[in-house]
Structure 1
């Protein structure tokens, strides 16, 4: 089976702002998983414990990138793909470490979590809105992890809270299953 769409996973955030770096940490782990798979590490290896074994092979067919706090640069990162999966921190009314799946059109239309916040120069919803008007959008799925502090609260640290760190191991299987939906 192969993927029917070209897919890019983008981790957004700032590693120097604690929990806001969750998207970057998630794509770093997924990149390590992809590298291990391409290096011939067996799916039964303990490194892949808790991951959906049937979805793991599709990781080889996706592009994974650290988008950092790219702001308007994100516009060029959207081009050339049928589907973009964005992983980022958000602040809503959920518990710390909660994971929300938001369709791009819902984010843009103010449904669900229309108040997604980040430490980016320009917020992800703003960039998506510009892209929709200027260049068109691929399918967008955002996986947001609830953080405690608003990203504008400056507390420079590379440490994430235990709840957000634990969310990464719950988030990655969701992203893998999201990729698998596009396999034929």
Structure 2
């Protein structure tokens, strides 16, 4: 087996399933489990892991993280941000909705020399509230998001 085919790619969905659109990352992982993906792609339900994301980041050769972000954009907007750019933008508008900011986890992983090449897909929510379903807007966004993530995976293995 050559080195390129042994890359470990982790797709990590984070969020809270009890808060509507905040759970987009988890909904995405559940949908992607129905797809045929390269064998070295691991789908991770990161829940509201926060600092525990470090474990998955240090195990990965590449990471794709999916999260709900408040960016003041149109609901359903998808942002693709390289992890190292999120570190720079951590004082800007792009903010994770978790207790520990995603950019803080990435910064810590960088300082520990554990951050693999990482892409973050952030999705602007429409509804954050006590419900287990995504809003219709984000349900309609889910297929496009899956398509973008599969495209990202193909780029890694190209």
TM above 0.5, yes or no, is yes
Structure 1 residue aligned with 2:51: 72
In 2 relative to 1, CA 114–125 (structure 1 residues): closer, same or farther, beyond 3 Å? farther
Q: What do you get for the CA RMSD once the two structures are aligned?
A: 2.1
| 5+ long unaligned stretches in structure 1 | 35-56
Bigger relative contact order, structure 1 or 2 (CA pairs below 8 A, ≥6 apart): 1
Residues 19-30 of structure 1: pairs in structure 2 closer than 5 A: 19-30=21-32
> How many residues are treated as equivalent by the alignment?
156
Higher strand share: 2
Q: Which runs of 4+ in 1 moved over 6 A?
A: none
TM-score, normalised with respect to structure 1: 0.77
SS at match of 1:107: helix
Residues 100-139 of structure 1: pairs in structure 2 closer than 5 A: 100-110=79-89, 115-118=94-97, 120-139=98-117
Does the CA contact (< 8 Å) of 1:103 and 1:140 recur in 2? yes
| 5+ long unaligned stretches in structure 2 | none
SS at match of 2:13: strand
SS at match of 2:59: coil
2:154 is the counterpart of 1:175: no
